[in-house]
């Protein structure tokens, strides 16, 4: 709150001509759940609309989208309709919309990514090429998502950007859709130390939780997704309002109001009744998604649990697992990572790391969540991309 007061003070203090307020949004994943869960598909459209309305209300002068605009590179029509409608609202108020692309926007099939339609329609500006783009007193440079295998090419582009920087005056913003390990170890391709230095604001995307830190004389920030996608994503979703008018960039994270609640619980069977009573007694703004694991030392009827919960929750997982039995465990084996071991064995058996990474990272999660539509789509995409992407060529997405 203090930061905002400071901003308005600066504005009143005669800095109005230099003020630059940016709306920073990322990972909207429009079209996720399409054809599978219409209600949840709508969640993502509503979150995007709420964010655009917020930006308009807050009178930002520029909106930057850091990628994963769409959930699928080959989207259904509604996702595109909502995207175009909302960006048109910005256009109507003279607010430029700059965007880069995430891995979800980029098809393995060499074709024009769907969000580029925004540029063709004069509604938005694609800034993922590494070329500087001037708007107001701000220079924005962006790159589209580079996969881990494209790391070398990404670093070369960083070096090129670094060489350009001394010739650029005014405020500078870098837009990337990459994970840095300082923010999130698991999905990271980079360290913060590898990023080009000297930007006032690093508008990051890819990580589905908000993260903000000072970096050099600038500020690096992930707003997180506008609506959570996976169970592990942060349930608190929002966008940044960034103020570039002072020496140091300020960013205020604003929570979006209409995010579906999610609950992930592990309950002992003896506490199940109490827990069910507790969670069904809460007044949720919308039907929460529920992942529930019941640890039991006796037979339990999954159907009876389901009956008690299905009115109030969208049950994503309901699993009964055996509770640990009495006794002592003498642990001497070194701990192994199940995921790592699974991958190691699979690579040993199949011999092709890319196929295994596809199976484990893309296919398995979709099959596990019963998302057959997208699982089929993924296989189809892999098959189509086979000669180009998987035969050793290092082509750009
Ligand atoms: Mn994403």
Query: What share of the chain in percent tops pLDDT 70?
Result: 89
Distances (CA, A) of 147 to 72, 152, 157, 229: 16, 10, 14, 20
Q: What pTM did the predictor assign?
A: 0.79
How far away, in angstroms, is 95 Cα from ligand 1 center?
24
How many Å apart are CA 239 and CA 27, to the nearest integer?
10
Q: Is the pLDDT of residue 145 over 60?
A: yes
Say what the pLDDT of residue 11 is.
47
How far away, in angstroms, is 105 Cα from ligand 1 center?
10
- Please give the structure tokens belonging to residue 185: 């170890």
Q: What one-character DSSP code corresponds to residue 129? A: B
Confidence of residue 6 (pLDDT cuts 50, 70, 90): low
Say what the pLDDT of residue 335 is.
58
> Over the stretch 162-218, which tens digit does the pLDDT of each residue have?
999 999 999 999 999 999 999 988 879 999 999 999 999 999 999 999 999 999 999
How far away, in angstroms, is 335 Cα from ligand 1 center?
31
Residue 367's SS3 state is: helix
How far away, in angstroms, is 33 Cα from ligand 1 center?
14
How many Å apart are CA 279 and CA 284, to the nearest integer?
10
Residue 133's SS3 state is: strand
How far away, in angstroms, is 21 Cα from ligand 1 center?
24
> Over the stretch 72-99, which tens digit does the pLDDT of each residue have?
999 999 999 999 999 999 999 999 999 9
How far away, in angstroms, is 62 Cα from ligand 1 center?
21
Question: Do the beta carbons of residue 224 and residue 209 sit within 8 Å?
Answer: yes
Per residue in 145-156, is it b (16+ CB within 10 Å) or e — as a string? bbbeebeeebee
How far away, in angstroms, is 208 Cα from ligand 1 center?
6
Residues comprising the chain, all counted: 397
Q: Is the pLDDT of residue 243 over 90?
A: yes
| Average pLDDT of the chain to the nearest whole number | 89
Give the residues across from 256 on adjacent strands: none
Q: Is the pLDDT of residue 150 over 60?
A: yes
How many Å apart are CA 246 and CA 219, to the nearest integer?
12
Determine if residue 142 is left, alpha or beta; phi over 0 gives left, psi from -120 to 50 gives alpha, anything else beta.
beta
How far away, in angstroms, is 328 Cα from ligand 1 center?
43
How far away, in angstroms, is 239 Cα from ligand 1 center?
14
Say what the pLDDT of residue 248 is.
95
Say what the pLDDT of residue 121 is.
96
Sheet holding 218-222, edge to edge: 133-135, 138-142, 171-177, 201-205, 218-222, 211-215
> Over the stretch 212-242, which tens digit does the pLDDT of each residue have?
999 999 999 999 999 999 999 999 999 999 9
Question: Do the beta carbons of residue 356 and residue 382 sit within 8 Å?
Answer: no
How many Å apart are CA 57 and CA 158, to the nearest integer?
35
Say what the pLDDT of residue 363 is.
84
Say what the pLDDT of residue 385 is.
63
Say what the pLDDT of residue 366 is.
82
How far away, in angstroms, is 135 Cα from ligand 1 center?
26
Average pLDDT over residues 297-309: 92
Say what the pLDDT of residue 18 is.
57
Query: What share of the chain in percent tops pLDDT 90?
Result: 73
How many Å apart are CA 88 and CA 65, to the nearest integer?
14
How far away, in angstroms, is 102 Cα from ligand 1 center?
7
Q: Is the pLDDT of residue 333 over 70?
A: no
């Amino acid at each position: 709150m203090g930061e905002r007061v400071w901003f308005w003070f600066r504005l009143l203090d005669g800095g109005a001509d230099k003020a630059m307020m940016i709306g920073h949004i990322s990972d909207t994943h429009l079209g996720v759940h399409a054809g599978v869960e219409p209600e949840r598909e709508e969640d993502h459209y509503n979150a995007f609309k709420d964010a655009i309305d917020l930006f308009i209300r807050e009178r930002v002068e520029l909106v930057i989208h850091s990628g994963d605009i769409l959930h699928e590179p080959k989207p259904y029509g509604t996702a595109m309709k909502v995207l175009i409608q909302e960006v048109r609202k910005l256009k109507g108020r003279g607010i430029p919309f700059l965007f880069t692309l995430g891995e979800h926007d980029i098809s393995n099939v060499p074709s024009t990514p769907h969000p580029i339609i925004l540029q063709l329609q004069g509604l938005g500006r694609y800034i993922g090429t590494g070329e500087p783009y001037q708007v107001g007193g701000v220079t924005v440079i962006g790159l589209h998502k580079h996969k881990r295998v494209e790391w070398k090419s990404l670093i070369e582009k960083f070096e090129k950007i670094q060489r350009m920087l001394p010739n650029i005056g005014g405020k500078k913003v870098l837009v990337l859709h990459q994970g840095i390990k300082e923010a999130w170890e698991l999905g990271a391709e980079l360290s913060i130390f590898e990023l080009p230095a000297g930007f006032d604001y690093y508008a990051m995307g890819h990580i589905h939780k908000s993260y903000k830190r000072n970096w050099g004389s600038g500020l690096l920030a992930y707003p997180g997704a506008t609506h959570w996608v996976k169970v592990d994503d942060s349930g608190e979703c929002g966008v940044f309002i960034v103020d570039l008018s002072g020496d140091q960039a300020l960013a205020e994270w604003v929570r979006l109001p209409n995010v579906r609640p999610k609950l992930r619980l592990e309950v002992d069977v003896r506490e199940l009744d109490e827990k069910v009573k507790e969670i069904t007694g809460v007044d949720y703004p919308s039907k929460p998604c529920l992942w529930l694991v019941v640890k039991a030392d006796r037979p339990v009827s999954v159907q009876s649990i389901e009956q008690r919960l299905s009115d109030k929750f969208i049950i994503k997982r309901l699993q009964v697992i055996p509770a640990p039995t009495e006794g002592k465990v003498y642990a001497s084996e070194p701990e192994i990572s199940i995921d790592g071991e699974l991958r190691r064995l699979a690579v040993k058996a199949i011999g092709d790391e890319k196929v295994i990474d596809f199976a484990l990272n893309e296919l398995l999660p979709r099959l596990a969540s019963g998302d057959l539509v997208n699982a089929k789509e993924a296989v189809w995409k892999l098959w189509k991309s086979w000669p180009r992407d998987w035969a050793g060529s290092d082509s750009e997405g």
